[in-house]
Structure formats: C-alpha cells, structure tokens
Amino acid sequence: MAGRPAVGVLALQGDVREHAALLAGLGADVVLVRRPEELAAVSGLVIPGGESSVIDKLSRTFGMQEPIRAAISAGLPAYGTCAGLILLADEVLDGIDGQQSFGGMDIAVRRNAFGRQTESFEMSLEVPVLGEPPVHATFIRAPIVERVGPDVEVLATLPDGGIVAVQHGSLLGTSFHPEVDGETRFHEMFLERVRDRSGR
C-alpha cells in the first residue's frame, strides 16, 4: 500500500517485538527478517538490542551476514539500538573472540562500556536534531561510541562527552533503547530515510 514502507526487524535474537510494535504503530508494514529472501523484500532494516555476539553468530548460521552486509553497502537504511549499534560499527573494540559485525558505520564501539555491574540506567538526554522534549533514554549494558569518522554525525552525548547516538548516511544507531520507553522520534527519523530511498 502506498505510504506504508516494508520495514524489516532482524528477528534472530533480542527485543524484536518492541521494535515491530512501534514501527507498525508508525505506519510501517513490518517484516520479521530471518532469511535472505525476507531481507530482499524490505526497504529498511532495524537491528534490535540483545546480545551482539549471539546475533552475529546466528546471522552467520542462518546465512544472513553477507546479505545484510551487501544490502547496507548498497544503501539500505538501517537503524541499530544497543547491540544493533555494535553490529553496524566497522570496529568493535572488545568483542568476544572471533566476533564480527555487519559494519557500514565508520565508528568504533566498545561493548558493555559502563561495566557489567551497571546493568542499566535511565536519564534525560538532549538530542538537538529531535528538538524538545529531551529523550528519556534507557541504557541496558550499553555500548559507547569511542571513535567517529569524518562523515559521521554525532546526535547525542552523555554529560561526560560519551557518544551515544550517531548517524552515517542512511545508517542510524543509538546506545540506548527508545523502543522500551515509547520514544518514537528515532524510528520516525529512520522511516523518513526509508521513504526517501523507496520513493514512498
């Protein structure tokens, strides 16, 4: 249907349902992506939070790693939250042995950057590109961006300067989980890119 872009949520592991529900509420036709043919049918892909090393391994087991890499390289809009941000990074600084990413964002990300003892925290986060009100951000064993390339736009930082939201071309990533707080504006940004690319 016109105006309803087909958007995939990578459904190998993680908080898939929360993203799917939020995207459907914003008017997207949501496809749960587990196979290459499902990926080929969508105009954008959300990579959810979860465990980045598990999603990495499952993506290889299901034959999804190379199709996702190729789609991102070809310009498919993608949005990664938490583990999804790690998987979009070109460099993972403290991955487990043999861990790989899909890449595409010229960034280096550190997993579990806040220490395993700090399982989660919440804060009000200023995101200038989104305007007011501030974003209620929930961090759960969150990563942090430690390096950004020259074409990467930093969207949000912590008070200490730690980078927690970035965009690079058609790719968007956040260390936190807007989908668990009913915060829709990042997903709206992502859907704008999807519509721009698909002409809908």
User: With 0-12 CB in 10 A as exposed, 13-18 as middle and 19+ as buried, what is 73?
Assistant: exposed
Which residues, listed in sequence order, are joined to residue 81 by a DSSP beta bridge? Answer: 174
Active-site pick, 18, 179, 183, 187: 179
Q: How far apart are CA 89 and CA 38, in angstroms?
A: 23
Active-site pick, 82, 168, 183, 187: 82
Catalytic-residue membership of 177? yes
Closest CA to 100 of 89, 114, 108, 85: 89
Catalytic-residue membership of 153? no
In this structure, what are the phi and psi dihedrals at residue 189, rounded to the nearest 5 degrees? -60, -45
Q: How far is CA 31 from the centre of its chain?
A: 16
Catalytic-residue membership of 126? no
Active-site pick, 18, 19, 168, 177: 177
Q: Which residues are catalytic?
A: 82, 177, 179
